[in-house]
Structure 1
Amino acid sequence: MCYKTLLVHLDDSARREARLALALDLAERFDAHLIGLYLPAPRSRTPATEGAGTPEQRLELAQAAFLDAGARGGRRVEWRAPQPGDSATATLHARHADLLVLGQHDSGDPAVETASDFVTDLVMTAARPAIVVPHSGPFPDFAQNILIAWDGSREAARAASDALPLLRRANSVSIEVVAPRSNTKRARAEEEAVDAAAWLDLHGVSASFHESAGAEGMTTGTTLLSRASDLHAGLIVAGAYAHSRIHERVLGGVSRTLLEAMTVPVLMSH
């Protein structure tokens, strides 16, 4: 597997350039075609866009900036600004890409997509892996050291498989198991981590594995973020878990914690 087509979500937010920079970096690494999908906030005017012109003018500015960045980077790029600009439309476009680059929801930026479940909808329905970029901070060491959140589940296996092109290029890969307190379940978790490392080795990825005991009062998601910080990981790879309620998808606790409190990009897959 290789990433030959990337799709980056663009809007009028302050973090648009950070997402685009990371997407262009990925396009260069994999010699990939990059699609810029412009879906701004549905409101016609926000405090962040006051004085920035009409929606049509903002679209033209965003398009010019995207095409200029692609030209300066010497990359093949394609601009799309579909209507209607909703999650369902985004999902249709996302299904024709190998990897998505999305932004963490930032409730403090009025220019972002108002629906906080935009990322969740794409990850759960597009059948494509997505790298979610935090709403703050630079990422100079992106994907040099990678942490895989592993619990032996279908979602974890899917995410690790989808991340293989990045894992093969990483300086170091660590499989992290947050083990339950039960001795039987802990032993099973250790065996699964060893099997995962052996599978990765067959794909040319040398991975170490580590077990973190579930600490009192500390969620699995928080434990993973702490471990990523200890390892100076530039990317976390994790399965996306969710269950459905009427007319909505509700993320599982670990996935929700990673998306809400991430300090480094997270590759999520369902």
Structure 2
Amino acid sequence: MPFKTLLTVTGADQGDDDLKLAAGLCEEINAHLSALVLVIAAPPAGGAYAEVVSPAWLAEREVEMEMLQKRTSAVSKMLSAIPVSTDLSSDYPEQSWADDVIGRRARYADLTIVGPEVLASQMLKEKIVAGALFSSGRPVLLVPKGARATLKPKHVLVAWDASLEAARAVRESLDILSRADEVRVVMVDPIEDERHHGDEPGADVATYLSRHGAKVTVERLPSSNHSIGEVLRQHAVDTSAELMVMGAYGHSRLRERIFGGVTRSMIENPGLPIIMAR
């Protein structure tokens, strides 16, 4: 299914680069741009000194709301000058439910764009990625600094581990994959059994993609004492991939936070544009 609505989220401290990136992607595929301006509310004061600092906290919230209004006005002006259809909303959620607010908004878009400015903002990045992946059922596109973003790539790498999440990412990206000149289905240390990759790892997903017109090559790579994330990033460089498609959070977020994981590694250091879904 082609992407017809792209969502971008911006905060009070961000500039317009991520907005321009999302607008460019919309123009490339003739899509609608939905923009959300978000300021996450400062947490309330607590402890024995709550009564003393409470007025300062209330004053801080007033400043934040003014920042939200000012940023929303600036974004509205910027959007009025771009050559694609747009809509604009704003919100001022508490930190604990900011990802839910983002997720509800992302349900009405096909793809949420996370550009370099947001990737540099730890809290906003985590809230947007978590909200889009866990509260919307929609994929995200991570675009790191210096990367060329396109939704019409010629060379695509699919990180395949036969999981439900990877299958969802492939399904969400079918329009892109079917139009690419080259799709490399890459597996790192694949397990050959019926509960994992089957007797011939990659054969089933390659057949599925081929029926949709994708030009598929299957590659099985050894990790050789490197992390899966490192292997995928290096192979993307070696094969001149313009986009990676992968499933996200095959393990719980808590497990990934404590022990690390491929998803967390890729969010922290994408290396190239990555579409993630779960």
* CA distance in 2: counterparts of 1:132 and 1:242, whole angstroms: 18
* CA distance in 1: counterparts of 2:80 and 2:158, whole angstroms: 34
Aligned-pair CA distance for 1:126? 1.2
**Residue of structure 1 equivalent to 2:8:** 8
Matched, 1:122 2:135: no
Q: Conserved in 2, the CA contact under 8 Å of 1:104 and 1:119?
A: no
* CA distance in 2: counterparts of 1:219 and 1:189, whole angstroms: 23
Identity of aligned residues (%): 29
Aligned-pair CA distance for 1:31? 2.0
**Residue of structure 1 equivalent to 2:114:** 102
The structure with the greater share of residues assigned to helix is 2
SS in 2 for 1:81: strand
Q: How does 1:71-150 map to 2 (within 5 A)?
A: 74-84=83-93, 86-103=98-115, 113-114=123-124, 116-134=126-144, 136-139=145-148, 143-150=153-160
Matched, 1:39 2:38: yes
TM-score (norm. length: structure 2) = 0.78
**Residue of structure 2 equivalent to 1:262:** 270
TM-score (norm. length: structure 1) = 0.80
Provide closer, same or farther for how the CA distance between residues 130 and 95 of structure 1 changes in structure 2, counting only shifts above 3 A.
same
Task: Using the TM superposition, name which of 225-234 and 7-16 deviates more.
Answer: 7-16
**Residue of structure 2 equivalent to 1:202:** 211
* CA distance in 2: counterparts of 1:266 and 1:214, whole angstroms: 20
- RMSD (Å) for aligned C-alpha atoms: 3.1
Aligned-pair CA distance for 1:96? 1.0
* CA distance in 2: counterparts of 1:269 and 1:141, whole angstroms: 17
* CA distance in 2: counterparts of 1:236 and 1:106, whole angstroms: 19
Provide closer, same or farther for how the CA distance between residues 260 and 233 of structure 1 changes in structure 2, counting only shifts above 3 A.
same
- 1:96-151 CA-to-partner distances (Å, cap 9, x unmatched) read 11111124686865xx74573541332122100110122x2141666332110001
Q: Conserved in 1, the CA contact under 8 Å of 2:14 and 2:118?
A: no
Q: Conserved in 2, the CA contact under 8 Å of 1:123 and 1:129?
A: yes
Q: Conserved in 2, the CA contact under 8 Å of 1:152 and 1:189?
A: no
**Residue of structure 2 equivalent to 1:172:** 182
**Residue of structure 1 equivalent to 2:48:** none
* CA distance in 2: counterparts of 1:259 and 1:54, whole angstroms: 28
What amino acid is aligned across from residue 75 of structure 1 in structure 2? V
Provide closer, same or farther for how the CA distance between residues 114 and 14 of structure 1 changes in structure 2, counting only shifts above 3 A.
closer
Provide closer, same or farther for how the CA distance between residues 223 and 6 of structure 1 changes in structure 2, counting only shifts above 3 A.
same
**How many equivalent residue pairs?**
250
SS in 1 for 2:275: strand
* CA distance in 2: counterparts of 1:126 and 1:183, whole angstroms: 33
Unaligned runs of 5+ in 2: 43-56, 58-65
Provide closer, same or farther for how the CA distance between residues 114 and 30 of structure 1 changes in structure 2, counting only shifts above 3 A.
closer
* Higher Rg of the two aligned structures: 2
